[in-house]
Amino acid sequence: MTTTYAVLSEGLEKSYGEVRALRGLDLAVPEGTICGLLGPNGAGKTTAVRILTTLTAPTAGRALVAGHDVTRAPGAVRRSIGVTGQYASVDGDLTGRENLRLFARLAGLRGAAGRARADELLERFELTEAADRTASTWSGGMRRRLDLAAGLLARPRVLFLDEPTTGLDPAARDRIWTAVQELAGRSGGGGGTTVLLTTQYLEEADRLADDIVVVDGGRAVATGTPAELKSRIGSHAEVTVTHPDALTGAAAVLDRLTGGRPVLNGERLTVGVTVSDTGLTLPRIIRALDTAGIPVTDATLRPPTLDEVFLRLTRVREVAPEKEHAA
């Protein structure tokens, strides 16, 4: 079976004067999946999204969205996509329903068809009850859901979600996540929309994304499912000592065992380290600490969190340019 890609980019480059925001970004997002674009500040995520949504032209390389070239057929790309941002485009003076009807007209859905689609989306995002109150009285989570609904009015094949839950409380975040999962067909409710999600929350990418692309320095530095990325950097060991004086001793033992870079936490009395040696077991760690006379109250060996993966992958990139210079 051949895979159809909803978003495909090859060697995408973008320079702003001296600044090379993108330096050959390759993306391949299969149709109907959720791709999480992760990266530290300034990595190039927003620039990539701006190119893919036809808001700015690439300096080099090419990109196809829903099969259309962003440079040669920007109109066709725009008709295939929905874009929702972290800054809700909702007008506070209008009611929820009026907002959606306005967006429907802007999306080319006129008359009864536009009204019906607006009502359908209000229902879907559990906004029907509040629909006739002005949006200024709505909570942040409700406004964000309205923004998401607006992005879906024209049934886009590809939805760009730029930091959809920044600033929301956990319950509101959870409702957005469920809505996004439904869009891509995870839990019934239609589905089939391809989602390109940029987020600062690794937990969000972990929960939603089929594939994650870690962007750093304008390039993809790692691509894979959340599980693949985690397994690539090994597991994480953490020990809790009984007294602050024992922290450095425990770090020395873990350093010797793993060759990693132990991180000390004086408040929690823990030492944590990434373990790439799959043969290292918890009993071995405990025995080594015991032999060194370091008393511990707790010790764990677990898969890394996506935060740890992210820090590791992007830290690797930070040192790479120096190596390039040296070569």
Looking only at the bridges linking them, the beta strands covering 19-30 and 194-198 are: unpaired
Indicate whether 57 belongs to the interface with ligand ATP (CB under 6 A). Answer: no
Q: Please, what is the minimum distance in Å from the beta carbon of residue 198 to ligand ATP?
A: 7
Query: Least distance (Å) from ligand ATP to the CB of residue 211?
Result: 18
Asked whether position 312 contacts ligand ATP by CB under 6 A, the answer is no
**Among residues 1, 2, 3, 41, which is the contact residue for ligand ATP, using CB under 6 A?**
41
Q: Point out which span in 4-12, 38-46, 231-239, 319-327 binds ligand ATP (CB under 6 A).
A: 38-46
Q: Which of 6, 7, 8, 21 binds ligand ATP (CB under 6 A)?
A: 21
Minimum CB separation of residue 100 from ligand ATP in Å reads 28
Query: Is residue 45 close enough to count as binding ligand ATP by CB under 6 A?
Result: yes
User: Count of residues binding ligand ATP (CB under 6 A)?
Assistant: 11
16 binding ligand ATP? (CB under 6 A): yes
Q: Is 314 in the site for ligand ATP (CB under 6 A)?
A: no
Q: Does 19 help bind ligand ATP (rule: CB under 6 A)? A: yes
The residue among 3 and 41 lying less far from ligand ATP, judged by its C-beta, is 41
Q: How far apart are CA 251 and CA 233, in angstroms?
A: 19
- Of 35-43, 77-85, 91-99, 311-319, the segment contacting ligand ATP by CB under 6 A is 35-43
Query: Is residue 164 near ligand ATP by the rule CB under 6 A?
Result: no
Residues that bind ligand ATP (CB under 6 A): 16, 19, 21, 39, 41-47
